[in-house]
Every structure is written in C-alpha cells, then in structure tokens.
Structure 1
Amino acid sequence: MEGGYKEVPANESQAVSFVSTKDNVTVQTMQHGTSTNRTFLYMAACIANLSSFVCGTSLGWTSPEIPLLKNLTVSPLDHVMTGSEEGWVGSFLPLAAAIGPLGAAILADKLGRKKSLLVGVIPFIVAYSINIFAANVPLLYLSRFLCGLGVGIIFTVVPMYVGEIADDEVRGALGSFMQLFIVIGLLFSYALGPYLPIKTFNIILISPPVIFFVLFFFFIPDTPYYLVKSAKHEEALEALIRLRGNLKTLAQKELEVVKVQVEIDVNNKASFMDIFKTKSTKMALFLALNLVAWQQLSGINIVLFYTQGIFTDAGVPLAPEICTIITGVVQIASSALTPLLVERLGKRFLLIQSAIGMGIAQGVLAFFFYLKDDKGSDVSSIGWLPILCLVVFIITYCLGFGPLPWAVMGELFPGNVKSAASSATASICWVFGFFITNYFGILSNLVGKSGSFGLFSVFCFFSFGFVFKFVPETSGKSFSEIQEILGGGRK
C-alpha cells in the first residue's frame, strides 16, 4: 500500500489532502498539531509478530533439544542419534521453509493476509504436539518439516501484513519488529529448553501459537488493501478507522487512495517471468538472490541451530547453556539497535560492516578450533574466545546481513512483481539454508570445525566484496531513483 499519512493535526478535516490519479498516488500533509493515536496500530503489529516469535522458538529448538535427544537417560528415543540423523533433524526445517513461500503468496491472495497467518501457525501446533509423544527420529523429521512450512508462510506474509497496515511514518519501525520478535523467540527456546524435560518444553511451546491464533482471529482485522481488493469496502474503512486512531475523515480519505492503488496493481498484474523483461528488475533479482545466499553462507543457521553444541565442543569455561542464553540476549539488543542505525548510516554501509565483522569472528573461531582440535594445544587460557567470537558474529549479523537483505529487497521491485520476487527469494534463501545445515556435519568430519568455520569466514569476506561491488545505497532514495540506478542510468 503506497498511500498513507504522516501527521494529523487537531482539526482532522484540514489535516490531510490525498491526491490520487491512476498513474500516481501521493499524500500531502500539513502539520499543525498533534499526531494520531497509533496504539491499536502498534498492538496489531505486535500481535501479528507473535507468529514471528513462534518461528523464533522453532529456529532455536534444536540448540537445547539435540543435546538432550543424544542423551539416552533423558531422551525418549530408542537409540543415540547418528550424525546423519542430527543433520536431517536440523535441515528439514529449511527444506520445508523453501517450499512454504511458494504457497504463501497464493494463500495471501486467495485467503487474505490475516487468514494466511492463521493458517501459518497451525503447523507449529501440530509439530510441537508430535514432539510431546515422539519416540523415534522419523516423527522428529515430520515435526521439523511442519515447522519449516510454517516458517516459510510466516516469513512471507508478516512483512506483507505489517507493510499494508502501517502508515508511511512508522512503516520502517514496524517492519523491524519481525527480526526483534524472532530473536526473542530464539531466546525463549535457549533459556527454557536446557532446563526442562523434552515433553514439558514442547507442551509450553504449544502456548504461543495458540495465544496468537486467538488474539489475531478475534481482535485484529485484515489489511485495508486486501479488504478493498476483495470488494469489502465497509470492512476496509472500519479497519482504517481503528488503525488510524478513530480518525474517520482521515480513514475515508486514505480508503480512496487504497482503492486507486488496488486498481493500479490489478491493471498492472505481472508474473515472475515479467521480472526478466527490464534491466532494472533483472538487476533487482540478481541483488536479492545474492544477498540472501550470502546471508546463509555466513553460517547463521549453524550458529542458531547448534549454538549450545558449538560451545560444548569448544570447551568454554562457562556452562554451554549460559553461553547460549548470552548470545540470545545479544541478538535482542542488536536487533533493537538496527532501526536506529539504518537511517543514519545507510543499508549499504551496515551490510559492509556486517560482512567484515562476521568474517573476522568466524575466522578467529576457526583458528581457535585449529589450535584445540588440529594442533592439540592447551586452549584453557583462551577459553573465553569462542564466546566473544559468537557474540561479535551475532551483533554484526543482526546489524546487517540478518534484517537488511529483506529490507533492501522490499525497495528493489515494483509492486506488480514484488510478491513473486519475494516468494522466489525466500525459497532460494531456505534452499541454501537446507544444504548448509544438512551437510555441515559431513563437512566438519572432512575438514574439522576449523575448516568449516574457516570456510564460512571466507564466504563472509566474499559477501563484503559483493556488496561493495554491486549493492547500491537505497536509503533515502525514491523508488524511481532506485530503478534508475538498477537500470544503469546513474550511480
């Protein structure tokens, strides 16, 4: 939704004038007084992102649960998991997450953004219910596959939902909620998983998706954009009135803008193949696919899925569970900083710094494992080093390559191909995640952890080269300016 509003004076009727044509949609504002009450808007964004929190719990699930599942005294399994089984338990989620976005775009168009998110959390409820009774590895495969389907749907639909309910002034801030809620979900799993029986932990994990389902179903509307597209104009107006702080005149004017935007998008509807018709959209796809590929090649899923195992293998002086919780807290703090820094420093600068920081952290971690495993040296005096490396890695990832590839992607594509491009990009992201997660164990057996983390370090520095060479700065630029840059018209 391109229409929006910025600031509303006390006299609502004189606050905002919307100028709409079929070729252009703009919002003109006059600032005279107080801003609107965005309480319900923020509440809607937070409740929608409870689904992101649920995704975070599933992404962090393997870190505390794999060590328990490998311990027969507490594991419900009838045998000790093999390295191959461990790899598949970790990688079934990204495998299914690569499939999820392909159906999510169809769901979002046919059922709406709201119903799609409600559908998206159902696999988590089923998956965690399976985990309560799972006594064999194939059931864990099924559980992780279901979680991956949910992740693929939610990662695709949440940005769409939040972007369509937000006004222009707070769209960036609300868009950053997703990363924040995901890392809070990760910390939830990191903090509870090691200290609870497997069955109890999974019973608790059923609660967040159920709470989301109830709150979102009964209290939060679908997006005005989708409601207009479905010819539900009265419902769209009611939703806008609530989202814009009960300012009816403002909502009525914005509804007209939404109607124009829907008409524009319907008349200019395009398929995925239309991306290849212009130089600018081809370049946009090249950038988007590469950014998410380098994101995964940094080794982030290995760090998220197996944090506790990494600390155990490193023999750090603190309990691995405590170290994992520390990294979870760092993730939250770093994710909260990103919205504050991105407009000041720019996305390109943060991506470059992120790549360098991750590369150094992974390189030092590789050197630690080289000394410990390959050389057999006494590393007790530097036992703190892996903690520092992963903390630095998480900070630099969350400030750059975590949220910003998706933010950049949202600015590169015109509206008529954005849905198809987003689905394709998300799928490619998780395909890379699947292969890296599944074959990390094999790679570690071949070249050791030093070689594995060394390879991730090299990939991080390659990502720096890619951003430096190809990625333009998009912050502070209009869509037309970005398209001109992508088409080679300006630097």
Structure 2
Amino acid sequence: MTKIKRTHRGNLAAYTCGIACGWTSPEIPKFKEDGSPLVAPLTADEESWVGSLLPVGAAIGPFFAGIAADKIGRKKSLLLAIIPFLIAFGLACITKTVLYLFILRFLCGLGVGIVFTVLPMYIGEIADDDVRGQLGSFLQLFITFGLTFSYAAGPYLDIKTFNLICLVVPLLFIILFSIFIPESPYYLIQIDKEEAAENSLMKLRSATAKSVSSELHEIKKSVEDAKANKAGFLDIFATKSLTKAFVISLSLVFFQQLSGINVIIFYAQDIFKDAGSTLAPEISAILIGVVQILSSGLTPILVEKSGKRLLLLVSAVGMTLSLAVLAYYFYLLERKEDVSSISWLPIVCLISFIIVYCLGFGPLPWAVLGELFPGNVKSIASTCTASFCWAIGFLITKYFSLVADQIGKSCSFGIFSLFCLFAANFVLLYLPETTGKSLQEIQELLSK
C-alpha cells in the first residue's frame, strides 16, 4: 500500500493534465458571453483554435520529454512539465486578448505531452512487479479526477477564482514530488550513480540494502543490455515483430482519437446544449466526469482478469453502438422531429460511451504500448506514438465544428461510430493478447 500511495503523489501531474483537458468545457462559454474579459467575445474560428491548440502542444511535448528524460532524469522532467501549467493558469487569470488564450492552451498541451510521455516511463521503472499493472491504469483515473474537477467547479466560479484554484494542484505536486519521491533507479544506474540508485530503491521498497540487492542487480543488467543494444527510429523497422508492434501502437491511438473522445471532453457542455438535454449542460458534464471516475476505477481490476484484448474489443463495440444512437438522435433533431419524449437519450449515450471508453480505449493503448517494445526502442516508439496521437487529436478538435456545420452533428457522430467499428475489427484480427506474457513471448507472437 505504501508503494501505491507514494506513486499517487506522482499522479498529481496526471490530475493537472485532466484539469487542463476539461478546462475548455466550462471556460469557453464564459469567453463567448457579453461579459467576457476579452476585448470582444470569442468567434467560432477562435473557439476552435482554443480547443485544438492543446493537442498541438501535446504533439510537440513528447520530443522534449524524450530528450529531458535522458538528460536530466525522469523526476526533474516531470517537475519541468508542471511549469507550463503554472504559467497557463496564471495567464488565464489576467487574459484580455485571444492571443493569451492561444498561448495558455498551447502551454497546457506542452505540459500534457511531457507528462503523458515521462510519467508512464517513470511509473514503469519504480513500480514493483506485483503492482505495475495497477499503477499504470491509475494514470487514466487521475486524469478523470482532474476533468471532473473542471466540470464541477468551472461553471460556478468566475474565471479568475477558478484558475487561481487550478494553480493549487500543480504547486502541490511540485512540493510533494520534489521532497518525497526519489529519482528512478534505472536513470541513476544509467548515469553511473549506483549508490544513489540503491538508496532510491530502498526508499521506494521501504526495505534494506540487502533486500533490494537482487532487484538492483537486475536493473543494472537491464540498463547494460539497453546500452549495448541502443537503437534509433529506423531500428523499429529492422524486424517484423517491431514493425508490427509499431503499426499496432499507432493504430490503437489513431482509433482512440477517431472515437471523438477529445471533442466530447473539450465541448461537453456545448454538446448537451445543442442536443436540447433536459438536464442543465453543466450538470450533464459533471455527470460525465463522475461516470469517468467510476469506470476508470474498474479498469485496474478487470484488466488482470479479462485481459487487454477482450476489454478493447468490448470498448470498441460499446462505443460504436453509443455513438450510432447519438448520431440518430441528432438526425431526428436536424429534421426538426419532436424528440421531447427521448430528451434523456444524449445523456444515456454519452454516459455509456464514457464507460466503455474508460474500460478499454482510454487507458489500454498506452498499457499495450509499454508491453510491445523492448527497452532499447521503447522510448523512441513511445515518443512517436504519443506525438502521432495528439496530432490526430488536433485535426479532429480543430475541424470538428467546421465539419459539423457542413454535414451536421448526426453525420459527424456517425463517422466517429464507423471508426469505432473499424477499431473493433482491428482488435479482433490483429491485436495479440499481451496480459500475463513476457516480452519474449510477445515478440514471438508478433513475429508470426
């Protein structure tokens, strides 16, 4: 339990990412009102840029993260990742122009990109074998905590007060993480600080030097093997198994983004408002956040029992059905049919979508990524996959409103539903089960 509690302090960085991702849902409506602190209310085009600049920053962040993690260590890289959030939330308190909004959303994205790259790496290196799977799944859970905070507090606080409160979590992370959490023993071995690595491992395991000596030896061997077989980007295509692993990783995050998740998270209140939901949009968004927390909490339990492949398959099928029904609802709405008797339907659809997303396609593509690659290419593969993921996220978030205006929300959600169906087929046909298998077994599966 001590191991898990200590690592949760690191997940305050994920909590901060969640706040940043959910920030647009309650805040953008305020900047569109007549009482907006901006010189002029946000236009539709400006709104799309505010929503989509976070994915732009997040696509760039992993490249900084990969360099920083090797040069200054995992711990300092995570502390560095929090600085953009502090600047962004500070800017939000005083913003008067749209340019400030653009800058702060890009900075949030930069921080998100670094955290998403370094935090899983750090957790994977410090976690004991018996809790590694659980701790990896907690990343998604803490993100949903942050999202729900934005959904719950944002609509009821003025812009300045809300963003001052947002500053508290990253500041708390800096204090707790810098004082109580040690550097990764893997990194310390990499830079030839064996004594520091031993002390770090003793603190992480709450054990004596004798108790950790065996694990320290394994870490040294792993680091030596990685140095001896150090690889670059092109080495990913050197073998059939690595190439297939890379294609699977890119495909999973591609389908994750084409499910429309970022559109739903960033514009939750607007979607409920457009759907004519019987609940107030802000209440509906809070409900979505609570459901995310509950369903994300189930993933660490289910993944060990059911395996990742089955959960991903159930997730894809569930998202397909949820979005198809939502698309049909918007189709009736666009035809000006009377939908008052089924005004509850958008809430049910989005709740069911969020549940199955959080059980599978939310956290598991990243967990699968961590298992598909050997240590010598894992860093470069993770960086490329994370960057690709957020680049797709930018395109969808930026152009969703424009496309939806042209073809209607019914067609837009119908297209998302179709991609979820493609995702189900991909998982069924091409994804091997990685749960409970060693790296060697996974590589042999990929080679077939």
TM-score tier after normalising by the smaller chain length: over 0.9
Find the structure with the greater CA-based Rg: 1
Give the partner amino acid of 2:129: D
Offset of 1:43 from its aligned partner? 2.8
Aligned residue in 2 for 1:460: 420
AA at the equivalent of 1:428: F
Secondary structure class of the residue paired with 2:23: helix
Q: Do residues 343 (structure 1) and 311 (structure 2) align?
A: no
Cα distance in structure 2, aligned partners of 1:97 and 1:157 = 13
Alpha-carbon distance in 2 for matches of 1:224, 1:331: 33
Q: Which amino acid in 1 is paired with 2:411?
A: G
Counterpart check, 1:418 vs 2:390? no
Other-structure match for 2:438 = 478
Tell me which residue corresponds to 2:23: 61
The amino acid across from 1:58 in the alignment is A
SS of the counterpart of 2:96? coil
2:179 is aligned to 218
* 1:141-220 alignment runs, 5 A limit: 141-220=102-181
Equivalent AA in structure 1 for residue 89 of structure 2: Y
Summarize deviations over 1:383-409 as a string: whole Å, max 9, x none.
100000000000000001001111111
CA distance in 1, matches of 2:221, 2:430: 35
Q: Give the distance between the partners of 1:480 and 1:225, measured in 2 at CA.
A: 21
Task: Work out which of the residue numbers 240, 245, 270 in structure 1 matches 2:206.
Answer: 245
Q: Which amino acid aligns with 2:91?
A: I
Q: Which moved more, 1:76-85 or 1:204-213?
A: 76-85
| Cα shift readout 1:340-389 (whole Å, capped 9, x = no counterpart) | 1112111111111111111111111111111112x101111111000000
Q: Is residue 12 of structure 2 the alignment partner of residue 50 of structure 1?
A: yes
Q: Any idea what the Cα deviations from partners look like across 1:64-94, whole Å, max 9, x if unmatched?
A: 1111111122x21122211111110000000
Per-residue deviation, residues 197-220 of structure 1 (Å, max 9, x unmatched): 011111111111111011111221
Q: Judging by fraction of residues, say which structure has more helix.
A: 2
Match of 2:55 in 1: 94
Residue from 274, 285, 290 that aligns with 1:329? 290
Identity of aligned residues (%): 57
Q: Which amino acid aligns with 1:63?
A: S
- Deviation, 1:258, is 1.4
**Equivalent residue number for residue 388 of structure 2:** 428
Match in the other structure for 1:400: 360
> Shift of residue 264 of structure 1?
1.1
Question: Matched residues in 2 for 1:219 and 1:167: separation?
Answer: 18
Distance 2:209 2:4 in 1: 18
2: CA distance between counterparts of 1:377 and 1:416? 58
Aligned residue in 1 for 2:400: 440
- 2:242 pairs with one of 276, 281, 289: 281
Specify every segment of 5 or more residues in structure 2 that has no aligned partner in the other structure, as ranges.
none
* 1:169 match: secondary structure: coil
Residue 466 of structure 1 deviates from its aligned partner by 1.2
CA contact (8 A) 2:50 2:105 kept: yes
Once the two structures are superposed, the pairs formed by residues 69-88 of structure 1 within 5 Å of their partners are: 69-73=31-35, 75-88=36-49
Q: What CA RMSD, in Å, does the superposition of the two structures yield over aligned residues?
A: 0.9
Deviation larger for 473-482 or 146-155: 473-482
| 1:288 partner SS | helix
Whether 1:295 and 2:239 are equivalent positions in the alignment is no
| Offset at residue 325 of structure 1 (A) | 0.6
Offset of residue 167 of structure 1: 1.1
Task: Quote the residue 1:7 is aligned against.
Answer: none
Q: Tell whether the 8 Å contact from 2:295 to 2:359 is kept in structure 1 after alignment.
A: yes
Shift of 1:248: 2.8
Q: Residues 161-210 of structure 1: CA distance to partner in whole angstroms, max 9, x if unpaired?
A: 11111111111111111111000000010000000001111111111111
Q: CA deviation at 1:246?
A: 2.6
Aligned length: 448
Take 2:199 and 2:89, find their aligned partners in 1: how far apart are those partners?
36
Checking the alignment, whether the CA contact within 8 Å between 2:138 and 2:300 is kept in structure 1 is no
Q: CA deviation at 1:143?
A: 0.3
Structure 1: segments with no counterpart, 5+ residues: 1-37
